[in-house]
Amino acid sequence: MGVQGLVVPLIPDIIGGVRCKLFPQEKLGDLLEKGYGFDGSSCGFCSVEDSDLLAMPDPKTRVELDSYMLFICNVYKANRRFELDTRFALQKALSRYAEMGMGVTSGVEMEFYVLKSTSEPGVYDPWRYMEPMFGYPVLSLLSELASRVHEAMRIEFTHHEVGPGQYELTLEKDNPVDLSDRITLAKWAVKYWVSKKGLLATFMPKPFINRPGSGMHLHLSLNREGKNITGPGGDRSQGKRIFSEEGASFLAGILEHAKALAALMSPTVNSYKRLMPHFEAPIYICWGIGNRSAMVRIPEHDAARGEVRIEVRCPDPSCNPYLAFAGLLTAGLKGLEEGLELPEPIDKSAYELKEEELAELGIEKLPSNLGEALEYAKKDPVFKEALGPALAEQFIRLKEAEWKAYLKFLEESGEEGEGRITSWELREYLERT
């Protein structure tokens, strides 16, 4: 079989990757009608003795890139939606808002590095944040990539990020399910297009300890009958009065359950080496208006126009976006149901707050590693509510195995894991993420 003219029906797996089989395009009709079977036990979905699953491409997700036709699949077992299908988990979470007569608008900023190769993981260029990249190879790469991804998945804009060789794609706003589909497809497209140039695109959260990590900031706003109801807006002097009562409680729910949600938003060993001070990555559970040191930033320019949206800054691109959004929506809904009160915003750099200030303000830290995040997830009922019992249990099982494998590596290799990126992380995440 040649590599041209292929259908690529992608299955989002539980831990943030994708699985697929490749089909000649003449098989498209059968695929859309009957789907294709696969071994769920080899994809982390289930055990070997009960592992027959079916992937059904969703025709609405179809995009074409070069000679490839891509789809996102729903997963079925015995003609019913499979309870460990992560797309299904988000669809159920979003339906609860529809039952309340509300909708959710979401956005995303996807950051990634372009490296020369796996064997030579040097960055592709020396440029910095929003510099115009005068070198032709870099400008050509980014402009071609942006054009291709925009044609298929609709981008808002792209630019060079803070780190050398680091870029950002911001996709157009959408509902969380459709946006998660486009995130998944965009990651495939970026990695494919960059590889055509003989380079490597990595969405690994922290490939370099002394350079900025790659985040995947998620944006959320509530709407009713097409109107943003997150808040009336205003400038920094308004404090939490920029929010409506519903918007304030929604954000309060996210902050209340942030420690458990960390396992979904920052799901790898490497994720927690990104969450360190002074690289615009959050370590404290707080919010601020235009404050990039907080876990949640409210973009001030939009708030001043009365278009309030919430930017959650701790997610990274190693996460499964369906699960990250499902967790955020469920926590936000819990805040709405309980009428949780939102604390006042943080107006100074959270990195500079002293311990006594943090205690006085009631600000807690995000988990410091994957093992700690999993312990919080197991204790918080919202985690299980967001995913459903079976998916929550399997997610914990897979991630605890990952954490234990890392600890075993440290013990057997003698490598130091604190304050550095280990060879285990590079092997596990550099290409796969």
Nearest residue to 289 (alpha-carbon basis) of 333, 340, 348, 331: 348
Question: What are the extents of the domains in the chain?
Answer: 6-82, 91-429
Q: State the pLDDT confidence band at 295, using cuts at 50, 70 and 90.
A: very high
How high is the mean pLDDT of the chain?
93
Lowest mean pLDDT among 13-27, 131-145, 221-235, 379-393: 131-145
What is 91-429's CATH number?
A: 3.30.590.10
Q: How many Å apart are CA 228 and CA 28, to the nearest integer? A: 40
Mean pLDDT, residues 121-146: 73
Question: What DSSP string runs through 113-151?
Answer: EEES-SSS--BS----TT----SHHHHHHHHHHHHHHHH
Cα(353)–Cα(373) distance, integer angstroms:
23
Residue 429 has pLDDT above 90, yes or no: yes
| Maximal C-alpha separation, the chain | 66
Q: What was the pLDDT predicted at 28? A: 96
Q: Which of 148-152, 329-333, 379-383 has the lowest mean pLDDT?
A: 148-152
Residue with more model confidence, 136 or 57: 57
* pLDDT, tens digit (0-9, with 9 covering 90-100), for 72-87: 999 999 999 999 999 9
Please tell me the total number of residues recorded for the chain in this structure. Answer: 433
CA dihedral 345, 386, 14, 36 (to 10 degrees): -130
User: Percent of the chain having pLDDT more than 90?
Assistant: 82
- With pLDDT > 70 as the criterion, what percentage of the chain qualifies? 97
Q: Does position 208 have pLDDT exceeding 60, yes or no?
A: yes
Instruction: Give the residue from 313, 175, 150, 343 showing the smallest Cα distance to 249.
Output: 343
Is a pLDDT exceeding 50 seen at residue 221?
Answer: yes
- Into which CATH architecture does domain 6-82 fall? Roll (3.10)
pLDDT at 45: 96
Instruction: Supply the pTM of this predicted model.
Output: 0.95
User: Of the given ranges (65-69, 177-181, 257-261, 314-318), which has the lowest mean pLDDT?
Assistant: 65-69
Average pLDDT over residues 343-354: 92
Residue 242 CA, distance from chain mean position: 26
Nearest to 425 by CA among 383, 380, 370: 370
Confirm if 217 and 313 have CB atoms less than 8 A apart. Answer: yes
With 80 as the cut, is the pLDDT of residue 4 above it? no
Q: What average pLDDT does this structure show over 35-43?
A: 97
pLDDT at 137 over 90: no
pLDDT at 1: 41
- The pLDDT value recorded for residue 144 is 82
Q: What is the pLDDT of residues 405-418, one digit of tens each?
A: 999 999 999 999 99
Bridging pattern class, strands 296-298 and 287-289:
parallel
Task: Compute the radius of gyration of the chain from its Cα atoms.
Answer: 21
Domains 6-82 and 91-429 fall in the same CATH topology: no
**Any idea which of 4-8, 42-46, 149-153, 301-305 has the lowest mean pLDDT?**
149-153
